[in-house]
Each structure stands twice: as C-alpha cells, then as structure tokens.
C-alpha cells in the first residue's frame, strides 16, 4: 500500500510514522508513506499557501492552486483509490472504515490547516472526509497520523501475530476483553483461573463474556447501533 500525505507541516508527521509498527511496516515493504510538502507548490516569492476568505471573517483559508497542483501531479503518476480530507465535520473514523481502507492500494490524505481549505477542493477532488472526533485541532497532521496507523497495522504481515488485529476492540462491535501477563500473582492480585487452565474453549467463552460485559458498561451504543 502507498499513502501520500499532503501537508503544510510535514515534519509533524515524521515521528509517529518513523517508529514502532509503522517503521516496521515500511521496512518490510508492506507500506509506503510519502510526505508531500505543500509549501513546494506555494505561490510567488514567499510560497503563499493561504489567503483571506471571501465575505470576510476570521481565519485564513488554504488556496486552491497549491493543493490542486500537488494532487494533479500525484494523479498523473498513479491512480488513487481514495483522496481523503481530514476534517472535524467528516464521518467519524471507526474500525469499519479502517478495515475498508486497508484493502486499497493507493490513498492520498490531505491535511487541512488555518481555517480550512477552499470548498472547491472538497467538491472536485475529495472522495472521503474523515474526522477522528468531535473536537478541533490546529491541523490535520495528527488525525492523518492516526488514520495511517489504524490502517497500516491491518496490512497482512505488519503485525508479528497475524491474528492480533482481528481481536482488537471494535472489530466485532465489542470492546476487547481484559488481558494479563506474568506473574500469575502479584501482591495477592491473581490472574483469573480460566486463563491458566489451558482449556481454550473455556478461555474463548470467558473472553467473549468479558468483552460483552465491558461493552455494555462502557459503550452500550455499540450494541444498540446508536452513536454518542
């Protein structure tokens, strides 16, 4: 999979994408992440990227030309399955969306900045708009990093245990069950006996019951289909 991220501040993305699982995914050749600096497409001597909004109002708006020129240059090199804009008014990211996107080959992600992007970019180029929550950040870089991580870890071969991602929270609309590791007892706090029994049928039953219980307590909306 190849992901191109268009950003005013690409350096904000380097650390989360150059360590741990994302680093390993790229070293294995399973994931390519290319940071596209929109400043290189800026206008005039000062590489301008933004301007005042028509009609007045606070906040600057990202201009069309730099963004469109970058998008079209990339499109001339390959076909993109999705061109995604990270925005608070997009569809809220969930595991189902991550699963869908992990099946694609080429994805482009546009990070907003300032007051946002000229609406004509959204109308003519963006195929999907995604939010990571009902709050506003300074730009789309951190949301883009979240999206890349949530997609990249699902690619076959990225995780050491191929089945690990299948049992994450939200994969089956349930939260993940409690997990334990050694020692089996610490300060009198014991690991549930069933996990030490070696009876995998009973262990899976216990895990399902705990997942259901945790979901009912913490995210009942996942069970009735309602959103917060």
Split at pLDDT 50, 70, 90, the class of 164 is low
Same domain, 35 and 130: yes
Q: What pTM was estimated for this model as a whole?
A: 0.87
What pLDDT score was predicted for residue 228? Answer: 44
Q: What is the pLDDT of residue 15?
A: 93
Shared domain for 143 and 176, answered yes or no, is no
Do 81 and 31 belong together in one domain? Answer: yes
pLDDT at 165: 57
Tell whether 60 is covered by a domain: yes
Helix axes 141-152, 20-27, angle to 10 degrees: 60
Both 100 and 185 in one domain: the answer is no
- The 10s digit of each residue's pLDDT in 83-98 is 999 999 999 999 999 9
What does the mean pLDDT of the chain come to?
92
Decide if pLDDT at 159 tops 50: yes
The band of 17, judged by pLDDT with boundaries at 50, 70 and 90, is very high
Q: How many separate domains does the chain show?
A: 2
pLDDT digits (tens, 9 = 90+) for 53-88: 999 988 999 999 999 999 999 999 999 999 999 999
Domain housing 196: 169-224
pLDDT at 227 (0 to 100): 46
Same domain for 212 and 119:
no
Q: Which residue has the tokens 């190849």?
A: 2
Tell me which residue of 154, 206, 200 sits closest to 22, measured CA to CA.
154
pLDDT score of 103 more than 50: yes
Instruction: State the Cα torsion 16-228-126-151 to the nearest 10°.
Output: 40
What percent of the chain shows pLDDT beyond 70?
A: 93
Pairwise CA distance, residues 15 & 65, whole Å: 29
């Amino acid at each position: 999979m190849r992901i191109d991220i268009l950003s005013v501040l690409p350096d904000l993305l380097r650390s989360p994408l150059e360590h741990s699982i994302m680093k390993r995914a790229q070293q294995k050749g399973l994931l390519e992440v290319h940071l596209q600096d929109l400043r290189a497409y800026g206008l005039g001597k000062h590489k301008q990227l933004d301007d005042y909004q028509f009609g007045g109002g606070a906040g600057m708006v990202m201009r069309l030309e730099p963004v469109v020129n970058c998008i079209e240059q990339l499109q001339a090199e390959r076909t993109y399955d999705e061109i995604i804009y990270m925005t608070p008014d997009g569809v809220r990211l969930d595991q189902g969306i991550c699963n869908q996107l992990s099946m694609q080959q080429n994805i482009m992600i546009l990070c907003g900045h300032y007051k946002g992007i000229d609406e004509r970019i959204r109308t003519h180029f963006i195929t999907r708009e995604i939010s990571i929550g009902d709050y506003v950040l300074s730009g789309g870089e951190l949301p883009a990093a979240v999206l890349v991580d949530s997609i990249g870890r699902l690619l076959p071969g990225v995780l050491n245990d191929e089945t690990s991602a299948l049992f994450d929270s939200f994969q089956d609309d349930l939260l993940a069950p409690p997990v334990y590791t050694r020692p089996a007892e610490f300060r009198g706090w014991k690991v549930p006996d069933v996990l030490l029994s070696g009876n995998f049928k009973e262990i899976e039953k216990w895990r399902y019951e705990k997942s259901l219980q945790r979901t009912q307590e913490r995210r009942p909306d996942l069970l009735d289909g309602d959103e917060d």
